[in-house]
Structure 1
Amino acid sequence: MTDEGLPPTLLLVHGAWHGAWCWEKVTSALEGDGWRTRTVDLPSAGSPAGVRDDARALLRELESIDGPVVVVAHSYGGIPVSEAVAEARNVAHIVHLAAFQLDVGESLLGFLGVSVPPGTDGLDAVPDDPVPLFYGDVPVGVAEEAVSRLVPQSSRSAGDVLTAAGWRTVPSTYIVCEDDQAVPARTQEVMAARSATVHRIATSHSPFLSKPVELAALLARIALGSVGSRKGTFT
């Protein structure tokens, strides 16, 4: 609890090609236990918008929330979250779920050692055969439904360089997805070293679909422990 007497709201941020819909099972579990949740659709999913556009959308959502916020970022979502949190005043904690926890001057492609191609104003198609890539341990019907909702992703979002790293001033936790085929666990571990606390779960890239109740319980435990360390700092 904070000085205002409000428990934190969990703002859940999706990754590339996805949308707010991917959190439906997790928000249902969290809200069933009394937590307040928010989700947001990032502009870069389905349009040529970049990291800064996504960060502005996140800032607008954060500004609309009363009390402290625990921001949960999945995959690409960690990049605009870091930009937005650096400007926000009500974020108590960041949770990076198999997320890109980048530093200032880094981009998604650069971190992976890939050159940014010329002409990045278009859209990247949904990856071929996304089920093993994203949903290896997700029930077949659920995975097929998820695939039907994927959209092209902004090419620019992968090449935009981070200009602010919110995790340097806001406490953060990293959740490594150990069976991830999209962002391998060894890559996650490199970024997890930038967080104060690390958890590991035996799931694919999408625990919000494969183990939503287990993930919700872990997020609730993290949120419960997050606000006290920043009590009195919210304005």
Structure 2
Amino acid sequence: MGVVLVHGLWHGAWTWDAVRAALTDRGVDSVAVELPLTDLNADVATTRAALDDLGRPAVLVGHSYGGAVITAAGSHPLVRHLLYVAAFQLDEGESVSRLLPGESFPETSLPEAMRVEETEVGLDPVLGAQLLYSDASADVASAATARLRPVGRRLFRGVPAPIAWRSTPSTYLVCAEDRVVHPELQRAMARRATRTVEWPSGHSPALTRPEQVAALLAEIAASC
């Protein structure tokens, strides 16, 4: 059983480096996808290609926006389980900017940190780091912030299809101290998952709790 890891907005495959090292120590093979971050369909196609290249059953993991990606890409026949990490577990017709119609949730300061251009959206390095890496060491936060990149505006309107979690088991990891995706919104989306786990973590546990993330993944992989 392998693990395929999908990062969120503004990030890259490097997000998962420490988790992958911890998985290797546990004898679990992994692949981290480098998303183009231009539109959802392209990101889904890239993830499905990574599953093709892996060529064997896998746990598919999505962090934050990566949840939208795995919701669609998770229909791949090799996927045995989906793990949403503070992620967008979307339903039919939903996008990361429009979900759970009719419900309201507390807002975070993420919109204030976003720098919207004609075709791309960047992130203010100071406020963005405070939100993304609120429980990280200064060194980890600084190194990660230096690697962030703008993303395509179309990503925020992308609607996944099909909806893989309807037919594939899923786990939702709620990050209870998240300043990007409000924990109450996470808990609402987690109602769609087969299982929910909650940690007292900020938005980026792959960087702040890699051993714990790897242990959870190894447990899931062993149970598939």
Length-normalised TM-score, structure 1 = 0.85
- Is 2:186 the counterpart of 1:188? yes
- Is 2:143 the counterpart of 1:154? no
Q: Report the CA distance shift for 1:156/1:55 in structure 2 as closer, same or farther (over 3 A).
A: same
Q: Report the CA distance shift for 1:112/1:167 in structure 2 as closer, same or farther (over 3 A).
A: closer
Q: Report the CA distance shift for 1:80/1:120 in structure 2 as closer, same or farther (over 3 A).
A: farther
When structure 1 is superposed on structure 2, of 179-188 and 62-71 the one drifting more is 62-71
| Native 8 Å contact 1:126 1:153 kept in 2 | no
- Is 2:88 the counterpart of 1:100? yes
CA distance in 1, matches of 2:211, 2:195: 21
Q: Which residue of 2 aligns with 1:65?
A: 54
- Is 2:32 the counterpart of 1:39? yes
Tell me the alpha carbon deviations over residues 182-230 of structure 1, each in whole angstroms, 9 at most, x when there is no partner: 00110000000000100011110001111111121122112212x1xxx
Aligned partner letter, 1:145: A
| Native 8 Å contact 1:181 1:204 kept in 2 | yes
Q: Which residue of 2 aligns with 1:209?
A: 207
Give the superposition deviation at 1:142: 0.8
Q: Report the CA distance shift for 1:61/1:120 in structure 2 as closer, same or farther (over 3 A).
A: farther
- Is 2:42 the counterpart of 1:53? yes
**Is the partner of 1:11 in helix, strand or coil?**
strand
Give the superposition deviation at 1:112: 7.2
Gap regions ≥5 residues in structure 2: 105-115
Q: Which runs of 4+ in 1 moved over 4 A?
A: none
CA distance in 1, matches of 2:87, 2:65: 6
**Is the partner of 1:181 in helix, strand or coil?**
coil
Tell me the alpha carbon deviations over residues 66-100 of structure 1, each in whole angstroms, 9 at most, x when there is no partner: 221101110000111111122x1110000000000
CA distance in 1, matches of 2:162, 2:118: 22
Aligned partner letter, 2:10: W
CA distance in 1, matches of 2:118, 2:60: 28
Aligned partner letter, 1:220: A
Aligned partner letter, 2:172: Y
Q: Which residue of 1 aligns with 2:119?
A: 122
Aligned partner letter, 2:31: R
CA distance in 2, matches of 1:81, 1:214: 21
Gap regions ≥5 residues in structure 1: 1-7, 228-235
| Native 8 Å contact 1:121 1:154 kept in 2 | no
**Is the partner of 2:123 in helix, strand or coil?**
coil
Length-normalised TM-score, structure 2 = 0.89
Give the superposition deviation at 1:127: 3.8
Query: Alignment length, in residue pairs?
Result: 210
Tell me the alpha carbon deviations over residues 82-132 of structure 1, each in whole angstroms, 9 at most, x when there is no partner: 11122x111000000000000111111111779xxxx99711012451122
RMSD: 1.8
Give the superposition deviation at 1:162: 2.2
- Is 2:108 the counterpart of 1:111? no
Q: Which residue of 2 aligns with 1:233?
A: none
- What is the percent sequence identity of the aligned residues? 37
- Is 2:137 the counterpart of 1:139? yes
- Is 2:8 the counterpart of 1:15? yes
Aligned partner letter, 2:98: G
Q: Which residue of 1 aligns with 2:70?
A: 81
Q: Report the CA distance shift for 1:215/1:50 in structure 2 as closer, same or farther (over 3 A).
A: same
